Amino acid sequence: MDPLQTPEFIDPGIDRVFMGDALRLAARAYEAGEVPVGAVIVRGPRIIARAWNQVELLKDATAHAEMLALTMAQEAVGDWRLTDCTLYVTKEPCPMCAGAIVHCRLARVVFGAPDAKAGAAGGAMNLLQFPTLNHRSAITPGIREDECRHLLKSFFLEQRRRDDRPRQPVDP
């Protein structure tokens, strides 16, 4: 099997279920005033890590949902290698998160909303399948995309309404 393609035995219904868990976590981030991104990492049939963006809460620019979930998953597995795990995340990973995903050697990344301006899983660039890196993850985009995108757009619209400062337009 080509490692860059989604394996044929993946059940899209299961992807929708796990993305639902990530969406619930994204809603928690929204309620906390964080950019609404949620992530779960699955190994076999069970979730081993759950996280949502906590950049503002932790005052840490690296506290993206994916980064926090990767740390939890490594602890759960007892190894930094996550070769038999799948990440479900509501928004296409950024370059920082994609770099960490490659280094952790995640088998697969499933995301909801694409990010044409800054996504690193095929949006603006594709670090997850960069040919010279030592690992490449299979990518499944667009799972529950409308729900993921709606949550992001609602959040940024609300932020712009609350904030009188001029802002750069954000297109999640």
Is 66 one of the catalytic residues? yes
CA dihedral angle for residue 154, residue 52, residue 101, residue 140, rounded to 10 degrees: -50
> What is the per-residue pLDDT for 5?
46
| CA-based nearest residue to 112, from 153, 84, 169, 80 | 153
Q: What is the average pLDDT across 81-91?
A: 98
| pLDDT of 3 higher than 60 | no
User: Nearest CA to 36 among 46, 18, 51?
Assistant: 51
**For residue 154, pLDDT beyond 70:** yes
Does 80 score more than 80 pLDDT? Answer: yes
Of the residues 31, 34, 66, 92, which is catalytic? Answer: 66
pLDDT at 155 over 60: yes
Q: Which ranges constitute the DSSP H helices of 10-85?
A: 12-31, 55-58, 65-77
Whether residue 104 is predicted with pLDDT greater than 50 in this model: the reply is yes
**Range with lowest mean pLDDT among 6-10, 114-118, 156-160:** 6-10
Instruction: Evaluate if residue 2 carries a pLDDT over 70.
Output: no
- Cα→Cα distances 78→10, 73, 107, Å: 25, 8, 17
Tens of pLDDT along 54-69?
A: 999 999 999 999 999 9
SS3 158: helix
Does residue 89 surpass a pLDDT of 80? Answer: yes
- Give residue 168's pLDDT band: very low, low, confident or very high (50, 70, 90): low
DSSP 144: T
Average pLDDT over residues 14-23: 97
